[in-house]
Amino acid sequence: MIRRQIAADYVVDPYSGVECENMGDSGEALLAASRHEVRAHLEQVLASPHFRHSRRCSALLRYAVEQSLDNQGEFIKERTLGQAVFDREPGYDTNQDAVVRNAAAEVRKRLAQYYQEAGPAANGLRIELPLGTYVPEFRTAVLPVTPKVDPPAARYTPWLILALGIATVVSLAGWLATAARNSARRPVTELEQFWAPVLAADSPVQICVGQSRMGYYPDRSPDDMTDPKATVLLSSLVPLRDRFLWYGDAVAMAHISGYLAAHDKPYRLRGSQVTRYAELQGNPVVLIGAFNNDWTIRLTQDLRFSLVNSGPTIRGVRDRERDEDLTWRVTRGPQGWVTDEDYALVTRIADPRTGRTVISAGGIAMYGTLAAGDFLTRPEQFREALREAPRDWARKNIQVVLETKVADGTPSPPHVLAAHFW
């Protein structure tokens, strides 16, 4: 929201390169005049060719701006936008229905195109929708003012030359200061610090996704498909392990690969059943899945937190420092590993065996893996793990234990149970 500052900071507008006053600081009263200016500028933006032909982008941007101007920015959440703008049901599954995320990405692109083509607006305003949030930010450009200089008399020529020299030096100093501000990056989020070793690597990321250990299909059908008692020989069954993914693993893979793509990091996708050890050497690696991914189990088996089988019907996360029965566990029921809660383990480690950074995200059941994928791609969720982190946590190995509640097949946002840094 636009707020008056006592000592304004300045940023560089990402679209036009113009120096802008950062009007996003909290703690000051929102000005009525500023609301009027923002609304007028919003109408200019929505009337442009970039928005007037897209009803959903215009609707999302208008709703987000109006809510922010009414001091209700904290209520601009994905589910709220889905209901208010796109007529979704109150309990709709945001993990399966990405209408808000897709529309927000399109709004960001259209805003960038608008400011790139329009240049500095008459009132100097900018509307931005930063990544990772649906709360818009508003900035005002500080446009340069050229002073008027009266034509000097001929007898003042030496003084004019001196004045012009001083002005040149001052202008050069101002240009250097502006260039320094232009080169400064926006603040790096904690999540970006977590991913930094992977994003900075000089080779593509190897994403290794868990695959099913169960499931078979017949390589040929019974001769009489109409006979309900027809059987299939066991010898004719072919394993499915290299042909499909669990739902939670697939969603986590989509979230993580999307995060890497948004940061221009190339990656490769492979199933755990067909990934050789040699493929994990020399590359940063992301392991998705737990009990269906041997590489995840191997990576964590000697660490403080590990994923373990405790008999045929119990799986959990073990804490070696507690040395007791599994506190975080899931019991297999008649419907399989389906419960009202699930747990996940996220690990980032500089693995001496592969020579590169390895990140693993695996749940006891598929909902835990799905929640881990959310945790690794949403800055506001990841930040919870750093409540008691050391100051140099970004350079350490990390493990985080997560919990997610499951209702009607929908997992809640993950909650951090424990974190370990070493």
What are the angstrom distances between the C-alpha of 182 and each of 19, 23, 178?
8, 18, 6
Q: Which of 370, 245, 352 is nearest to 299 (CA)?
A: 352
Q: Are residues 125 and 237 in the same domain?
A: no
Q: Final residue of a domain: which of 126, 143, 160?
A: 143
**Residue 162 included in any domain:** no
**How big is the chain by its Cα radius of gyration, in Å?**
28
| pLDDT for the residue numbered 312 | 83
Q: Are residues 403 and 254 in the same domain?
A: yes
Residue 347, domain CATH: 3.30.379.10
pLDDT in tens, 44-79: 999 999 899 889 999 999 999 999 888 766 778 999
| pLDDT for the residue numbered 272 | 79
**Residue 311 included in any domain:** yes
**Residue 365 included in any domain:** yes
Q: Which of 169, 148, 151, 170 is nearest to 160 (CA)?
A: 151
**Residue 63 included in any domain:** yes
Mean pLDDT of the chain: 78
Q: Are residues 269 and 411 in the same domain?
A: yes
**Residue 284 included in any domain:** yes
| pLDDT for the residue numbered 165 | 55
202: containing domain:
192-219+233-421
Q: Please give the structure tokens belonging to residue 15.
A: 């679209």
Q: Are residues 130 and 255 in the same domain?
A: no
**Residue 156 included in any domain:** no
What are the angstrom distances between the C-alpha of 291 and each of 29, 260, 318?
53, 24, 14
221: number of CA atoms within 13 Å, CB side?
A: 6
| pLDDT for the residue numbered 35 | 85
392: number of CA atoms within 13 Å, CB side?
A: 3
Q: Which residues of the chain have pLDDT under 70?
A: 1-33, 72-73, 119-123, 141-186, 213-228, 230, 232-244, 323-324, 353-355
**Number of structural domains in the chain:** 2
| pLDDT for the residue numbered 28 | 39
Q: Are residues 89 and 212 in the same domain?
A: no
Contact of 27 with 3, CB cutoff 8 Å: yes
Q: Who's near 400: CB < 8 A, 6+ residues apart?
A: 345, 346, 347, 375, 385, 416, 418, 419, 420
pLDDT in tens, 226-237: 666 767 666 666
